[in-house]
Structure 1
Amino acid sequence: MDTVPPSEPNSQFEAILSYLKETRGFDFTGYKRTSLARRVRRRMAQIGVEEFGDYIDLLQVNSEEFGALFNTILINVTSFFRDAEAWSHLREEIVPTLLAERAPDDPVRIWSAGCASGQEAYSLAMVFADALGPERFRQRIKIYATDVDDQALAQARQASYAATDVQNLEPEQIEQYFEQQGNQYVFRKDLRRSVIFGRNDLVQDAPISRIDLLVCRNTLMYFNAETQAKILGRFHFALAPRGLLFLGKAEMLLSHSRIFDPVDLKRRIFRKTPCNPIGLGHLVSQTFVAERQGEVGGLDELREHAFSASPVAQVVVTGEDIVALINQQAEQVFGLSHRDIGRPLRDLEISYRPVELRAYVEQAKVERRALRIKDVEWQRGPGDAVWFEIHINPLVNNDNGLVGVSIVFHDVTAARKLLDELEHTNRQLESAYEELQSTNEELETTNEELQSTVEELETTNEELQSTNEELETMNEELQSTNDELRAINDTLRERSAELDEVKDFLESILSSVRPGVVVVDLEMRILVWNHGAQDLWGLRQDEAAGEHLLNLDIGLPVGELRASVRTAMTDPAFEDTMMLDAVNRRGRQTKIRIAVGALRRPDNGSTQGAILVMEPIENAD
């Protein structure tokens, strides 16, 4: 069996991921490689490209291809109340409990992570609007809906959906929450103001904070285990105390039970535990302490030089987030200088690059505990990536009063590279082991297949002989069937000719009868209108056919015929003759004799309409 060495295609595939990250800011390196490669190959097959290297060349010359590739990778499969049983439990059990745990006027913050085209966010809006009522919903609820797909977010903001998108909703929900505009159904504008859409990369961007309910359904399954752990750590930080996490049925948190407690494991609903998601104990740095009594002199200068000469980049801010200290390593690594001392942290690039620091600094100040941010990547230039582990420590005095916050950047690039190499080696070993197992299984099955092939060849001859006999029998049956079909066809032709003759004969009779003859069905719509009727009223057969008898404006008081015609339709034996004054097609007054009778079926004598025979008996100027 021929095999292709995996190293070259894998390196070319990784080159695609690096190119997407550098040129468009989409970091797919945390996604599962097997599913990710399968989707990229699917897109390549659609446009007829076979090699990853050739596909990079295409991306470089065709900017529109990025959109098609992202749509293939980010499969935005969603619907209103997807997995209805879980949503029903959320509506009936979880939401009432969540609202009961909060004061009547407390705001409720909800995050729909990976919202795609918005159906999940608007499903949440309907659930909470049902629970609170539209007015209280607008006052208390904020739903933050995020995704990395800008095209899907644009569609979500429009809140406009086709009939097929809302077909699974109850008619009452559609009437209450949607406005029909043409063929589209648009979510209510007054409730839509409480749903805020924005772009957020779960792997790279800072999480939204103080969330009471975080919904991330069938999104984590696209990431590998390491990236899932990173995202779940951010979710833990984003949730408020006793906040809830609602996952899809394809996702589990068995390996993260230390930071989430299951509320309903079957429906994938979890509650945030009060522990620190990164596993650190309560650490309080006391860099600024009262000067000790003793004989040692020049302590202030000694501290200043020791801080400045530290090999680890460090920045210290006050309790008001004003930069107080910057050491030499921080100046070299991040391009800071002594002129930045005294400036607010938010005005410095370091506050948001390589990671959004302000939320972590605020958390450290509020909770009076140390934080550690792991796996922070910083692209200093093309191909120059640096990895940091950032320690944020609150600085308190002896009275536990907050003095400031210390931010320390530990360069872990070398360790990260070693870990990546180790992980890569492990993946290669696992792949090689799987290939060996697969090869052994293939060899075992090949022997079985060879043995069975001999048996199959022996039976094939018998099957062919039997098949030949069956074909001969089928041929005879087909010839017999063909003869029968010819006979049926001849009979149908004869019947059709007979029907044509009967039709022509009936038309000849109706044309030869001088009085006007009108035949109506049970709905009083005209079936027959002969030449005599046309001469009387000046209305042609093609104009009268299908019209309601009582709607005709032909000079005949048709309203006076209503009772007799309806009686004829219900009584097969009914016959009636009446004289009516009318105006003929020439505009002259005339008296008409009209005979009304039932149109009876020949088989059972029941009525199928009425017949009217009209004949003028005198003319008056």
Structure 2
Amino acid sequence: MLTAQTVVGIGASAGGLNALQLLLAALPTKTGLAFVVVQHLAPDQPSILPELLQRSTILPVLPAAQGLKLLADHIYVNVPNHSLTIVDGCCLLSPPSQPHTKWQPIDQLFCSLALGYQQQSVGVVLSGMGADGSAGLAAIQAAGGFTLAQQPATALFAAMPEHAIAAGVVDKIAAADQLATALQQHSSLKNSPQLSGQTQRLRMSAEPIVATPDNALLQPILQILQQQTKHDFSQYKPSTLQRRIERRMMIHHQTELADYIQLLQKNPQEAELLFKELLIGVTGFFRDAAVWQQLSDKVLPELLQSRQQQKQLRAWVVGCSTGEEAYTLAMCLIEATEAAALGSGSPDAASPVSWQIFASDLSADAIATARRGIYPLSIADTVSEARLARFFKRQQQGYQIKTEIRDMVLFAQHNVLQAPPFTRLDLISCRNLLIYFDAALQRKLLPLFHYALRPAGVLLLGSSETVGRDSHLFTPIDGRLRLFVRQDLHQDRQQDRRQQQSRNSAQLIQSFPPLSTLIKDAIVTPVSPANANPDSLQHAADQLLLQVYAPAAVVVNPDGDIIYISGRTGKYLEPAAGKANWNIHAMARDGLRGPLSTVLKKAAAQTTALQFPGLEIQQDGAVQRVDVTVQALAQPAALQGLVLIVFRDVAVQRQGNRRGSKAGSEKADAQELAKCLDEMQSLREEARLGREELQSANEELQSTNEELQSTNEELTTSKEEMQSMNEELQTINGEMQSKLDDLALAQSDLKNLLNSIEIAILFLDQDLNVRRYTNRAARIINLRDSDVGRPLSDLTSSLQYPQLHQDALQTLQTLVFSEKQIETSDKRRFTVRIMPYRRLDNVIDGVVITFLELNAGTPLLAQIVD
């Protein structure tokens, strides 16, 4: 047996059994491929999937076992409650790494194939619920492999193939039986001598592609790409271009490069697809964990220590793809900043340092995905539970990055080879991008990064990248992990000047002195009624003085309703139009309404009088100034809780005395200022109260929202558990349905067998009720379909055998065979044999009665029965 060079991973879930059978049934006997099938299985139920699939194909179907080597033209099936991955061409079984509802076994298989087989890996997604398989297909596609999905319209459950297709990681979409043809064509093209010769000619050009005869093979394709996409790939490594072009050729079943060039010229969409193919988006959260550990433990704390004077630090992730790298950096920066604040002894204080991360990529689709910030459930394999809980929100189909992380990152479509770089940076992460560029382009980019970084800025490269000849620009922090620090060549005075200006600007703080009121306290003593005789001269004089010479005043309740009026208040109060309304807020003239509305709210809490000097009111076209005094009444008891408002006219200054006029003007200005300040203070107080009420309402809403979010998370978890259980039940149901079909077929075979041997047989259960009979038995005992389940004693027959029921009962009790020769009413003779009915599990479950007619054929029939 030959070891498989190309491995096909097949993922299926609910409804996938039928699709698997159709696909495997359409495979030829010789494919040269090894097939690994992973289906969502119930963890606590045995699986008969290998036996069911074996009926659909002549290829050997084997359950996966630890260390089992993959052979060509063999099919391997996962086992319950185990992850199946392929390492060094062998099966590796391991317990699930996640809870059952979050487990993504198809993604795990596909990722292992992409890592181990690269271009020789193939992924197929069939019917199923959820999104398992999409991330794995993306990994296979990024590695240069071939990806397929079942046509959603032909799938019993279309969620899995639809999700993979929507993610843009599927090269071929077809019905399950047609996918077998696509796999066979892919295998044939891989081994095609024409394609092998073409690839060999491509690989002869190992230098950067320029317009020379040796590199003329790829030059037309590069020109078409530059014309249609406005991007130049001439400085990409030829090996990268070769692999991606070869992959697109295999998808279109082409073996000649000239045919593919014609396709590019005729089909602009294919040029766009090739452009996306060349933008390799291999990324993930916390990829190369040792790098991020070193960055968090040492590099970032030292960078924060050296940048204490800066209020904001800037980072740039070059070639961010779908955003995982940028968000990983953001999480590490937050943790490092919090650790620095904790080490400073003020963990509760807000960190004075903020981060701004710029993340750029050439692919608009990748940038759109990064901005959405939604990632599959499989990220739980690389992101810790603590980080998942803090930085992500669980959704139905995956995890979404939280707002605090999303706001730190600015995503932009950016061509690092053509557009100006971001500058004044403290950190640049450019991982696994330089490996796709030739040496000349790398020598251009590294000085660009040096220019963009501030002094002592950090540069992070990929595991296969280095600064090379530019070691004078960057000094290694950890060469093994590809961490470098910017090396200053000379004193950058302009940079220092900018930093000094930034610090000075940050220290400019505009402050406004607190406003204070200029209201003087004045006590207004209410006039108590005299106990003298109302008709006395003193009482009359008091009343006259109050009406004529005392200032106008009103007594109101806390709501502003007028209780009592003293003096002439017509200058200050005016009845409102419409229905009579004795509320001071409705009757106050313009200029008084606002201050009265404000002061009445505060008067109840004051023990002293509140004064508003110099208020202006309009009366008959003239402006009148009025001093208003407001006093809460506490004595006598009858007036307790009420408010007294006193109005006093202010005399108008004459123009004769300029000095007096000037002093009066200054006094009026002071009064106006006092009024404005008091109004401002009142507005501030109202605003403060409003903020407190809004804050209280916001806290209540936030608490309610948290409760609803908690309930929603519980419902989501329950839904995921039900969905997972439903998938398992669908798988079990498919296997049970297959068993039922087999049983129905076996029953049909048994019935045809019994009827074909023409022996009268009667089956009885433990209660001697009719269970089954042959057609020939119905001619001896009067039986029909409705008699199934009837007692034997209720049936009539042509046999002269009244002890038949008794003998059957005795055989059931003693397990001793009974055999007698009995005549019928029409003088025929039968050998009646009564035997116990023994099941496969060795349990007696009734009796079997056979009737052999004694005639010329009897010896042969008897021999058959014996």
TM-score (norm: length of structure 1): 0.43
* Higher CA-based Rg: 2
Q: Which structure's relative contact order is higher, taking Cα pairs within 8 Å and 6+ residues apart?
A: 2
TM-score (norm: length of structure 2): 0.32
